[in-house]
Structure 1
Amino acid sequence: MSQGKILITGVARGLGLGMSRYFLQHDYQVLGVDIDKNALTRLEETGLPGLQLVHLDVSEEPSVQALSRLIERQFGQLDGIINNAAIGQPCNEPLSQLPLSHWQRVLAVNLTGPMLISKHMAPLLTPGAAIINIASTRAHQSEPDNEAYVAAKGGLIALTHAMAVSLGPAVRVNVISPGWIDVSRLQTVPNNEAPDEHDHRQHPAGRVGKVEDVAALARFLLSGEAGFITGQEYVIDGGMSKRMIYPEGPAAD
């Protein structure tokens, strides 16, 4: 028996692809959307039972409105939404050279997109359903030249608690902020930069994260067992954001 119908954005690669497979394995029906037509075609050819795919740019409101009408006709209602679609490259050019077009595109996809999906899909959610936004630990920590990505992910955390208050009690809204999650096998082009032993050891948890770590948390937050949880951020990074790091090792006492 299906546990529910959920919408996941950004399903063609990486974390979105991994979460889609996870939820399908746990008897969910998944409606997946992505902007990459070629990647969607390759995914469709795998013939995963329970997966329906739609080509969509989450930042275009007319397209999102059309998706809501499609869902209403074919699904009736949804039991959850995972706003995962994002321009995932966190680095931009130096701030002095940052093109306004890049800034605006990252915010359009990574921040406006989740708002539009939630705006038009929330009326289709069953009572007690939930929305999960996927942010990043970079909303709290930065490297040089991360302005667009960091601003969008930080805004998404704030948007989460705003929507939780606006949509409650019928709909709960939470945000997951992953740290380093190994998606090297889930890219359109295979990624040879898989974590090495040093990468694993530097995490207090002893390893880099897996897609299943994020997906299992998302599954819990969508469930009735999380019925008293809304407006919250869940950092899932193996403890890295709590580890004090010095360039030359721990400081002397």
Structure 2
Amino acid sequence: MEMKKRLEGKVAVVTASTQGIGFAIAERFGLEGASVVVSSRKQKNVDEAVEKLRSKGIEVMGVVCHVSNAQHRKDLVEKTIQRYGHIDIIVSNAAANPSVDNILDMQESVLDKLWEINVKASILLLQAAASHLRNGSSVIIISSITGYQPPASMAMYGVTKTALLGLTKALAAEIGPQTRVNCIAPGFVPTHFADFLTSNEVLRKTLQDQTLLKRLGTTQDMAAAAAFLASDDSSYITGETLVVAGGLPSRL
């Protein structure tokens, strides 16, 4: 099937994009014609991702970026501008879930890390990039189905993802009409990040059975949703969260 080229001529920056959902989004954007900038914490992972994408004919650049590092965020934006001159799409995908402790047992350093990476980094990245966003640009924040109903084993993670639903609304009001800001709330997707959930067969089957479609999500499912929100097909949508979770309970 020939991929639609809805993103021809656009420049997309995707954080935490050397594997899993982030990589799938970068790949889909590239196949739809965008120049993509991939990033993650390790040079080796960045190099491997760039190689894989180039082998598919995608115009790509890789930058090491730990999203909680101010210099890294600055480098990510500056190197993108040096190479491409502007930014049309930003996907804020980086997240951490360092603990399964109850909220009231959680150490302050862990709370700080969760806020820092899952919430604050999105804001600080956009502060660095906002002046380079072109008219008609699109920002996509990756939240989670757990933002609607934080589960016990990852409650504080869920709460940080709830914050992103509000951040999406607030930013859409602040940087519209030039830039649209939307959010994706993925369900459970077998990736390295979600390994502790999806590699346990019993838990995996339970999660699958809870969906209306009786399957877990794929990274391609998330990439397709992101490509829609990045493209002009969604030009009248902003401040919204698209739940891509196979019918898992979210909102009414």
User: What TM-score do you get using the length of structure 1 for normalisation?
Assistant: 0.84
Q: 1:118-139 CA distances to partner (integer Å, 9 max, x unpaired)?
A: 1111221111111000000111
Correspondence list, 1:123-138, <5 A: 123-138=131-146
In the alignment, which residue of structure 1 is the partner of 2:62?
53
Match of 1:16 among 12, 22, 32: 22
Q: 1:192 to 1:142 in 2, by over 3 A?
A: closer
Greater shift, 40-49 or 232-241, is seen at 40-49
> Counterparts of 1:26 and 1:221 in 2: how far apart (Å)?
13
Q: 1:221 to 1:242 in 2, by over 3 A?
A: closer
In the alignment, which residue of structure 2 is the partner of 1:68?
77
> Counterparts of 2:51 and 2:10 in 1: how far apart (Å)?
23
Greater shift, 120-129 or 199-208, is seen at 199-208
> Counterparts of 1:242 and 1:68 in 2: how far apart (Å)?
34
In the alignment, which residue of structure 1 is the partner of 2:129?
121
Kindly state the Cα deviation for residue 187 of structure 1 after the two structures are TM-superposed. 9.0
Aligned partner letter, 1:129: S
The alignment-based identity, stated in percent, is 25
Runs of 4+ off more than 4 Å: 191-199
Residue 240 of structure 1: SS of its match in structure 2?
A: coil
Question: Does the 8 A contact of 2:24 with 2:220 survive in 1?
Answer: yes
Match of 1:77 among 86, 89, 112: 86
Correspondence list, 1:68-107, <5 A: 68-87=77-96, 89=97, 91-107=99-115
Question: Does the 8 A contact of 1:107 with 1:148 survive in 2?
Answer: no
Query: Which structure is higher in helix share?
Result: 2
> Counterparts of 2:50 and 2:225 in 1: how far apart (Å)?
26
Long gaps (5+) in structure 1: 244-253
Q: 1:11 to 1:193 in 2, by over 3 A?
A: farther
Residue 131 of structure 1: SS of its match in structure 2?
A: strand
> Counterparts of 2:50 and 2:137 in 1: how far apart (Å)?
27
Q: 1:136-175 CA distances to partner (integer Å, 9 max, x unpaired)?
A: 0111112224243122111111111111000010001011
> Counterparts of 2:187 and 2:161 in 1: how far apart (Å)?
12
Long gaps (5+) in structure 2: none
Question: Does the 8 A contact of 2:68 with 2:117 survive in 1?
Answer: yes
Greater shift, 113-122 or 36-45, is seen at 36-45
> Counterparts of 2:180 and 2:53 in 1: how far apart (Å)?
32
Matched, 1:26 2:32: yes
Question: Does the 8 A contact of 1:135 with 1:177 survive in 2?
Answer: yes
Residue 181 of structure 2: SS of its match in structure 1?
A: strand
Question: Does the 8 A contact of 2:25 with 2:227 survive in 1?
Answer: no
Correspondence list, 1:169-248, <5 A: 169-183=177-191, 199-241=207-249
Question: Does the 8 A contact of 1:12 with 1:36 survive in 2?
Answer: no
Q: 1:198 to 1:112 in 2, by over 3 A?
A: closer
Question: Does the 8 A contact of 2:145 with 2:250 survive in 1?
Answer: no
Match of 1:112 among 120, 145, 148: 120
Q: 1:201 to 1:149 in 2, by over 3 A?
A: closer
User: What TM-score do you get using the length of structure 2 for normalisation?
Assistant: 0.84
> Counterparts of 1:4 and 1:155 in 2: how far apart (Å)?
29
Q: 1:203-250 CA distances to partner (integer Å, 9 max, x unpaired)?
A: 21232111121111111111112111111111111111169xxxxxxx
Let me know the Cα RMSD of the aligned residues.
Answer: 2.6
